[in-house]
Amino acid sequence: MAETTLISQKFLELKSKNRLAFMPFITAGDPDVDMTKDLIRTLTSAGVDLIEVGFPYSDPIADGPVIQASYTRALNGGITVDQILQAIAEVKSDDTPPLVAMVSYAIVFRHGVEEFIQDAKKAGFAGLIIPDLPGAEAAECFELVRSYGLDLVQLVAPTTPRERVQQIVQNSSGFLYCVAVAGTTGVREQVADALLDQLRWLREETDLPLAVGFGISKPEHVMPLRELADGVIIGSGIVRQLEDLVQGAVDRETTLKKIGQLANAMVSSTART
């Protein structure tokens, strides 16, 4: 029987409470490391269930303009992998929800695959999402990540061929990241029917929790997912709040308050009944 991880424990806990998981995404180092730590504290206080932490990369795989701009701000500020890991280690506490790193395979490979996994574990991450993980490397990377007690979360999209999805599921743990739409991340007005069809099919294919991201931005988007998904992920809807801060239109305290309020509203929307 597979070892129970922090992420799987969280989803089991939420299932017993008849709730979906709410997982916000933030970019590490946008606009600086101190803000990243403040964001994690704010989101923790708001009662979020997991937090996805993006490692800025100059050539993001599927990120829309809001998150791309966020990555650019962080990279222009000189953020490094070591600084991100140190910041996580400093802010992580017993109250912090499971932290999941969204990181390009190019970054992992350059750092050293096993060394990165070791360092992520030591810093306090509970799992990794590697969106561009080559298929040939997936099985080996999965075993290595799991050997350190972490989860390797993989992505599937409505356009992913079903035979490919079955391969992905075999090398995934924690939860399955279900991309809501074909395309890049970003705020959208409604949930696509193709996603709902895929979620119904996935329910028959895997026992992994299903978490939906890309285009989820407000509580209304959660309603049609309550009976099909186990979690929702919001990225651009939070990251865009930092644009006004960087432009000097609002201060840090106001930005954190607004993000906390959005997180609270999203948490409240995840009750199934």
Residue 92 pLDDT exceeds 90: yes
**DSSP character at residue 131:** T
Residue 166 pLDDT exceeds 80: yes
Q: Write the pLDDT tens digit of every residue in 175-213.
A: 999 987 654 444 444 456 777 888 999 999 999 999 998
Examine residue 5 and state whether it is found in any structural domain, yes or no: no
Question: What is the predicted pLDDT for the residue at 54?
Answer: 96
Specify the DSSP element, H or E, that contains 210: strand 210-213
Examine residue 6 and state whether it is found in any structural domain, yes or no: no
User: 61 lies in which domain range?
Assistant: 19-266
Examine residue 4 and state whether it is found in any structural domain, yes or no: no
Examine residue 24 and state whether it is found in any structural domain, yes or no: yes
Pair 71, 29: CB distance under 8 Å: no
Pair 270, 20: CB distance under 8 Å: yes
Examine residue 87 and state whether it is found in any structural domain, yes or no: yes
Examine residue 2 and state whether it is found in any structural domain, yes or no: no
Examine residue 14 and state whether it is found in any structural domain, yes or no: no
Stated pTM of the model = 0.92
- Residues annotated as catalytic are 52, 63
CATH number, domain containing residue 83? 3.20.20.70
Q: Write the pLDDT tens digit of every residue in 110-149.
A: 999 999 999 999 999 999 999 999 888 999 999 999 999 9
Q: How many angstroms separate the CA atoms of 268 and 74, rounded?
A: 30
Count of the separate structural domains present in the chain: 1
Q: How many angstroms separate the CA atoms of 245 and 42, rounded?
A: 16
Strands (E) across 45-199 are located at 51-54, 99-102, 125-129, 151-153, 155-156, 176-179
Residue 229 pLDDT exceeds 70: yes
**Span 89-111, average pLDDT:** 96
Question: What is the predicted pLDDT for the residue at 181?
Answer: 65
Examine residue 224 and state whether it is found in any structural domain, yes or no: yes
Residue 44 pLDDT exceeds 90: yes
Q: What is the CA radius of gyration of the chain?
A: 17
